[in-house]
Amino acid sequence: MPVHPIEYRYGSREMREIFEVSTKYKLMAKVEAALAKAEAQVGLIPKEAAERIAEVVENDKIRPERIFELERITQHETMALVLAIAEQAGPYGEYVHFGATSNDILDTALALQLKQAISLIRYRLISLTRAIIERGRDALDLICLGRTHGIAALPMPFGFKLAVWASIMKQNLERLISVESRVVRGKISGAIGTMASFYGKGREIQSLVMKELGLKEAEISTQIVPRDSLAELISMLALISSTLELIANEIRNLQRSEIAEVEEPFKVRKQVGSSTMPHKRNPIRSEKVCGLARIMRGLSVAAFENIVLEHERDLTNSSVERIMIPEAFLIIDEQLRTLEYVIRNLVLKEEAMKRNLERAGDLIMAERIMLELARRQMGRQRAHELIRKLSMRAIEENKSLLDVLLQEEAVLKKISKEEISSLINPATYLGESKEIAEEVFNSTEEFLDSIAT
């Protein structure tokens, strides 16, 4: 039975397949075949040997069970793979892994995994961003209460919230594209990176292998590709994860009983909210997104620790990466899929938004009155202090701001009663929010179209 929730609870089938052990061994074998082809091309091993090694690999004759068995004997994963291929290659098996070190194979196979995994995350990010844009445009005429410090601030279109989220997702995609170019790199450089084992053909061999595999070459490496780029990738995934938490946390807060402006999708016929409270409809999906972000941020610490290795390499990074890399991608995959489902099916409660605006009262229009007084030559600082005092009086005396304003001679000298009544209408104090949101939706959509091909 599985022990770790990653094995059965989080992450899609597609992402899981990328990091399954059988996939890893297939990719390692693919690197060995590409190496043999390159070495034959430069005359380092017989052409027939490369053809036989490639045939063994391409016909999928290497069984994971045999690799496991050989690893129990050798206590060395890469050597177990090499021996498994050599067994199937017959006399040509002596040419498998010629001149290479383990991490020539491991790091290059990892680059192939990262390339696939990043591509899937990129697809998920694009899909989530499109969902945000679609819902955001639909909600631009829906007026809600903006809050700062958890307290009523100013009115805003609900769609403006989603425009902020869309902009963040665009930046996430830009970050992902940027880091991919630095982290998805393979290497064939020998035991400490000098290529001494390739008889002067090392750079040519490395170039041929990477061309065969569709990878960029590491500019320089020791026994491994330096781990700073991998730390950048994991920390960037943690950053994306935290932005997903930002969205999920907002949804959770807006679903609170005393706010109740949104609600996660709830399968009324069968879904259970609580084992003891039958009425509960909890934001469990958003809570999951928030919880997983905590794990992701922890993984970034492990990635930074892995940068520091001794001399040309030690083994302290290996065990960390076996856990950290698949975990990071499965977690971010789960967060993205979950949040997209929530966004696409989020229930927006217009009546609750109206009710909360009304409950906040006309105090949320204090800024507008203050600025209007300042604009009419009262002076900004004097106007601020006057409206602050009047606002405090309204709160303490349990009156509306309008009532207090209409009793204040200093205000009435500058603004008529009719104008005051008009100025405290929340629907007329949205600024340029709709235009800004539309510009964000349009520019983000253009960006998505440009990278989707």
8 Å CB contact between 384 and 402: no
Given a contact cutoff of 8 angstroms between Cβ atoms, the answer to whether 274 and 266 are in contact is no
DSSP 8-state symbol, 218: P
To the query of whether residue 274 is one of the catalytic residues in this protein, the response is yes
- Spatial neighbors of 314 by CB under 8 A, at least 6 apart, are none
CA dist 24 and 119 (Å) reads: 17
- Asked whether 131 and 340 are in contact (CB, 8 A), the reply is yes
Identity of the residue numbered 279: H
User: For 164-175, b where at least 16 C-beta lie within 10 A, e where not — what string?
Assistant: bbbbbbbebbeb
DSSP states along 189-215: --SSSS-GGGTT-HHHHHHHHHHHHT-
Q: Are 212 and 34 in contact (CB under 8 A)?
A: yes
Q: Length of the chain, please?
A: 453
Taking the C-alpha atoms of residue 422 and residue 368, their distance in angstroms, rounded to an integer, is 11
Q: What is the DSSP letter of 269?
A: T
Query: Which of 97, 110, 104 has its CA nearest to residue 25?
Result: 110
- Tell me how far apart the alpha carbons of residues 43 and 201 are, in angstroms, rounded to a whole number: 9
Q: 412 and 390 in contact (C-beta within 8 Å)? A: no
Q: Is 149 a residue of the active site? A: yes
Torsion of CA 16, 18, 19, 21, to 10 degrees: 110
Catalytic residue among 178, 274, 422, 443: 274
Contacts of 437 (CB under 8 A, 6+ apart): 136, 140, 157, 159, 160, 162, 163
Dist. CA 198–CA 302, nearest whole Å: 34
**DSSP calls for 393-443:** HHHHTT--HHHHHTT-HHHHTTS-HHHHHHHT-GGG--TTHHHHHHHHHHH
Just list the catalytic residues: 149, 274
